[in-house]
């Protein structure tokens, strides 16, 4: 009878050790998985931040190009108006003077 009780206690002790080892293995695996998840999240976050930065830079360059095109168009229009004014300056002044004098 003592042998049977001793065997049962021995089996119970081994079961407790195996259960404890299983809990430790589970905790260890959870820590590993948490670490892997954190690493993946950090890598994904870094990749997304880099992608956003590239898109911002691309948009900035595109906008700078558009602004430069607008400046060039405005400069060309101003130059054209200046040339037109200078070519007709005498005619316009004469027309203004005549309009003032003839009322």
Give the model's pLDDT for residue 11. Answer: 94
pLDDT tens-digit series, residues 11-41: 999 999 999 999 999 999 999 999 999 999 9
Name the 3-class secondary structure at 50. helix
The radius of gyration of the chain's CA atoms, rounded to the nearest angstrom, is: 43
The CA–CA distances, whole Å, from 6 to 3, 12, 27, 41, 57 equal: 5, 10, 31, 52, 76
35 Cα distance to chain centroid? 25
Q: Two tokens at 29?
A: 């695996």
What's the whole-model pTM score? Answer: 0.54
Q: What is the Cβ-side half-sphere exposure of residue 77, based on CA atoms within 13 angstroms?
A: 6
With a cut of 80, say whether residue 103 has pLDDT above it: no
Tokens of 89: 């300056």
What does the pLDDT read at residue 80?
92
């Amino acid at each position: 009878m003592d042998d049977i009780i001793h065997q049962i206690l021995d089996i119970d002790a081994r079961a407790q050790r195996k259960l404890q080892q299983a809990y430790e293995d589970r905790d260890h695996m959870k820590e590993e998985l948490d670490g892997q998840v954190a690493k993946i999240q950090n890598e994904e976050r870094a990749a997304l931040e880099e992608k956003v930065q590239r898109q911002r830079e691309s948009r900035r360059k595109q906008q700078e190009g558009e602004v430069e095109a607008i400046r060039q168009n405005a400069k060309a229009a101003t130059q054209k108006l200046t040339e037109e004014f200078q070519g007709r300056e005498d005619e316009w002044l004469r027309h203004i003077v005549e309009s003032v004098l003839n009322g």
